[in-house]
Structure 1
Amino acid sequence: MADNLAEQRPFTQRLFISLGKKILRWSGEFEARHSLIPTTPKIENCHFPWVEKLEAAYPEIREELIELLKSPEKIPAFHQISPDQQRISKGNNWKTFGMYVFGERIDNNCRLCPHTAKALAAIPNMRTAMFSILQPHYHIVPHRGPSRAMIRVHLGLIVPTHQPDKLWIRVDDQILHWREGKVIIFDDFYEHEVRNDTDELRA
């Protein structure tokens, strides 16, 4: 009986994985049909009136990040606060400093970054927000989000510009580049990956 159970486990795992992929595909198709915005990999900023105000707050937000980076040892790696990210976050190569997580405000962190917190609070339906700090020569391997119910918004804060071919995010078949003070919006239901092959950090 023990041998039979051992043989069944891989089959059961494959069954659940296959079922999970089908559910994700079905939910993605349903969300796409009922979406109020385009479901393209990159979503144009013009669909969101608040983008202009967020970009206008860039100087103060960047200044608060620079202050935090003076004590990098106090900023945790992504997988230290979210263990389910261990596949894509290794060592101290991807650090995050969260201010909102699934709609919950992290008061201590918001107090340290009042200008950032104010700018974030003005974004309708914002659920999760953080500083995302990628160390030099790190690759976030291809992955995808579980649902089209949320989109990703990146405001470039520290972006090495002298080697654009070495710093990018791929969303589906599109290669995107950050610019300081500018917002990129994408649908992370599509497979995406990030590479920073420069000698500087990106945030």
Structure 2
Amino acid sequence: MRNLPALLAMGQNALRRGDERGSISWYRAALAQAAATGAPPQIQPLLQQAQASIAQSSQKFEDHLTSAIRDLPPLPRIAQATDLLLGKTSLYLQQPSMFYFPGLPQRAFYERSEFDWVAPIEAMTDTIVAELMAVRTQEAEFAPYVQTSMDRPAPNNPLRDDPSWGAFYFWQNGAPVADNSARCPAVTAALAHAPMPLITGRSPNALWSLLKPGTHIQPHHGLLKTRLICHLPLLVPDDCALRVGAETRAWRKGEMLLFDDSIEHEAWNRSSETRIILLFEVWRPEIGMEEREALASLFQAIDAFGPAQVDDGG
């Protein structure tokens, strides 16, 4: 066990010598020790001084670094790395809750321009919205997206069985929902452009996803790392957004968002109106046809052992 007063004294000595970075390392060690083992009352003022020194030094370092790189071109990866260095953002990595597939890049969002099948789907936005409005006029029910299953433990999700996060399925667990698809031929035609995984009993899932006013989908991770989730925004009021990892993007009607849902993500509707998107899944582009076929066989073997785990992500 480290001696707490000695750690603080080493930090003070380094500061007197002008070794500010050295002093901070000693002070951080002292604070970590105090957090782990506690500290007597007489030490508390010294710990507060250490915290103040760390905060002051961190601000000086940020000011120094910002000044040094001010004239560099705006490079997103440099900006993200700098924010990580300064502790202004956290590092978010892929953490699928069920299946990890190695060798894939750590990317939160993919860009629409990277996929030639996106534009044809986006071009159908207005037609899809017209179908949506017709279905809503007929008072079709949007079932809760997260539901309790009688043969599985209830998902640990505050929106379980709550229609505030609703779903109107066109594909569910690999099976087409014929009645809904027949009512919405534009949706069916649009989805035909997407490289959705076809895995019996599992994929694809494709639906209108509804988020009522004031609803917050809490931070969570999806089941798999082998897919991207796609959102085609249809009805999007202001003050609605999706955070994936350290990046937050707003939905804009007709502009698809594609993201890796194995990275921590959350979504919210802070407006007074309902948000609705077309949500579906596609294969990750880095996974070739041979591996896709092998993965489909693997997932079918997993599901043959027992029904798939409930997917409460999205």
- TM-score, structure 2 normalization: 0.50
**Equivalent of 1:148 in 195, 217, 225:** 225
2:138 is equivalent to residue 67 of structure 1: no
Deviation at 1:102, TM superposition (A): 3.0
Gaps of 5+ in 1: 1-22
* Per-residue deviation, residues 114-166 of structure 1 (Å, max 9, x unmatched): 111111122123521100010001111111112211110000100113xxxx3
| Contact 2:97 2:223 (8 Å CA) reproduced | no
2:274 is equivalent to residue 201 of structure 1: yes
In the other structure, the counterpart of 1:184 is 257
In the other structure, the counterpart of 2:145 is 78
1:177 and 1:82, CA in 2 relative to 1: closer, same or farther beyond 3 A? farther
2:205 is equivalent to residue 128 of structure 1: yes
AA in 1 matched with 2:193: A
Question: Whose radius of gyration is greater, 1 or 2?
Answer: 2
| Contact 2:97 2:262 (8 Å CA) reproduced | no
Gaps of 5+ in 2: 1-94, 198-203, 277-314
Deviation at 1:75, TM superposition (A): 2.0
In the other structure, the counterpart of 2:246 is 173
Cα distance in 1 between the residues matched to 2:164 and 2:194: 28
* Per-residue deviation, residues 75-124 of structure 1 (Å, max 9, x unmatched): 21213487865615242201100101233211111001111111112212
Percent identity between the aligned chains? 30
1:179 and 1:118, CA in 2 relative to 1: closer, same or farther beyond 3 A? same
1:111 and 1:86, CA in 2 relative to 1: closer, same or farther beyond 3 A? farther
In the other structure, the counterpart of 1:89 is 159
Larger deviation, residues 67-76 vs 181-190: 67-76
* Per-residue deviation, residues 13-52 of structure 1 (Å, max 9, x unmatched): xxxxxxxxxx958953x43x1x4xx541011122221000
Bigger relative contact order, structure 1 or 2 (CA pairs below 8 A, ≥6 apart): 1
AA in 1 matched with 2:213: P
Cα distance in 2 between the residues matched to 1:88 and 1:180: 28
AA in 2 matched with 1:57: M
Cα distance in 2 between the residues matched to 1:112 and 1:46: 30
CA RMSD of aligned residues (A): 2.4
In the other structure, the counterpart of 2:111 is 44
Question: Which contiguous aligned blocks of 4+ residues in structure 1 show a shift greater than 3 angstroms?
Answer: 23-28, 80-86
Equivalent position SS for 2:227: coil
AA in 1 matched with 2:252: R
In the other structure, the counterpart of 1:107 is 178
Cα distance in 2 between the residues matched to 1:184 and 1:136: 21
Equivalent position SS for 1:79: coil
Cα distance in 2 between the residues matched to 1:121 and 1:52: 13
1:114 and 1:175, CA in 2 relative to 1: closer, same or farther beyond 3 A? same
Q: How many residues end up aligned between the 2 structures?
A: 172
AA in 1 matched with 2:261: D
Cα distance in 1 between the residues matched to 2:149 and 2:213: 21
Deviation at 1:74, TM superposition (A): 2.0
| Contact 1:79 1:86 (8 Å CA) reproduced | no
